[in-house]
Structure 1
Amino acid sequence: MSKPSYVYVIHIKTTAEKLWQALIDPDFNRQYWFGAHQESDWKKGSPWKILFADGRLADSGEIVDIDPLKRLVIKWRHEISPDLKAEGYTRCTIEIEPQGDVMKLSITHEAETEGPSKFISAVSEGWPPILSSLKSLLETGKALPGTDRLPE
């Protein structure tokens, strides 16, 4: 049996610098990540977390590897839903690759255990609107409607 994983690839008309900044800057995150933002000092071995707008901890982990403008690997655990938290850590690899005047952004989210994963199922629903909104924000200056806050 293989470990569950989810891969999402999107092409964004931007620069590697602007895309990288959008991925790690809390103020930028809030605009397209349902009002949530990431916190870290973005160094290998450093703590990492996602906080909702109201301050609740959504996810936590550690920076496993980082190559600015190119690659970021996060050891990632969900903190709110007991079922998802019980699955333990996952690994999220974010890669940026220039392709002409666009950037190819690849997200690979992998469970660390074999068998079905509710967490991987959940991120397969979460990554598409987050990354589509990121693309819109970078290309047009506006995030997709509703991605600046948690759905009601």
Structure 2
Amino acid sequence: MTTEMTSFVYVTYIISTPEKVFEAITKPDLARRYWGHENVSDWKPGSKWEHVRANDERTVELVGKVIEILPPTRLVITWANASQASDPASYSRVTFAIDEYDNMVRLTVTHDELEAGSGMEKGIRQGWPAVLSSLKSFLETGRGIDLFAKPKSA
């Protein structure tokens, strides 16, 4: 039996430059300000990257490898929970495509090679919209959003 795979695509427009968007994704001190995590790597093809919680524990929550990097327009990485790092089947792929669009940037994040119905798929479908909204707010206003906010009860 073959595992069904799926993908998730999110597109947002940000009043910024490709360079600033790329740096916000790849520079740990910037990512922590809108994501609460740092993306840590030397950002060379084949290098590992780690998604490290920006707190005292510094927990590594996600891991992967840099597949392709073309600053400031494209970054492709593999992606897995750190607890599943030894299982090749647990890895998915994330592509950040950054395109100039008049006086702004169109950021397209494609997360593919996801197992349909998996916990990872459910997590990224909730996570990416919040993280990318926070990235947009951070670059446009200097402040990310509260990624842990809960809906107000009706």
**Shorter-normalised TM-score: what interval?**
0.7 to 0.9
Does 1:109 find its partner at 2:104?
Answer: no
Task: Specify whether residues 96 and 77 from structure 1 end up closer, same or farther in structure 2 by C-alpha distance, changes over 3 A only.
Answer: same
Cα separation, 2, equivalents of 1:59 and 1:97: 26
Q: TM-score normalized by structure 2?
A: 0.85
**Contact map agreement 1:110 1:120 (CA 8 A) in 2:** no
Residue aligning to 2:65: 62
Residue aligning to 1:47: 48
Cα displacement string for residues 3-40 of structure 1 (whole angstroms, at most 9, x for unaligned residues): 2111100000001111111111101111111x211100
Task: Specify whether residues 60 and 151 from structure 1 end up closer, same or farther in structure 2 by C-alpha distance, changes over 3 A only.
Answer: farther
Residue aligning to 1:17: 19
Residue aligning to 2:132: 131
Cα separation, 2, equivalents of 1:5 and 1:143: 26
Tell me: higher relative CO, structure 1 or 2? Use CA pairs within 8 A at least 6 residues apart. Answer: 1
Cα separation, 2, equivalents of 1:118 and 1:133: 22
Deviation of 1:130 (Å)? 0.7
Aligned-residue sequence identity (percent) comes to 36
Deviation of 1:87 (Å)? 5.6
Cα separation, 2, equivalents of 1:23 and 1:86: 24
Residue aligning to 1:122: 123
Cα separation, 2, equivalents of 1:116 and 1:128: 18
**Contact map agreement 1:87 1:119 (CA 8 A) in 2:** no
Residue aligning to 2:82: 79
- Matched to 1:48, the amino acid is W
Tell me how many residue pairs correspond in the alignment: 144
Residue aligning to 2:6: 4
Cα separation, 2, equivalents of 1:133 and 1:13: 13
Q: TM-score normalized by structure 1?
A: 0.86
**Contact map agreement 2:7 2:114 (CA 8 A) in 1:** no
Deviation of 1:131 (Å)? 0.6
Segments ≥4 residues shifted beyond 6 Å = none
- Matched to 1:5, the amino acid is S
**Contact map agreement 1:64 1:75 (CA 8 A) in 2:** yes
**Contact map agreement 2:114 2:121 (CA 8 A) in 1:** no
Gaps of 5+ in 1: none
Cα separation, 1, equivalents of 2:73 and 2:118: 28
Cα displacement string for residues 33-76 of structure 1 (whole angstroms, at most 9, x for unaligned residues): 1x211100011000111011221110001001111111101011
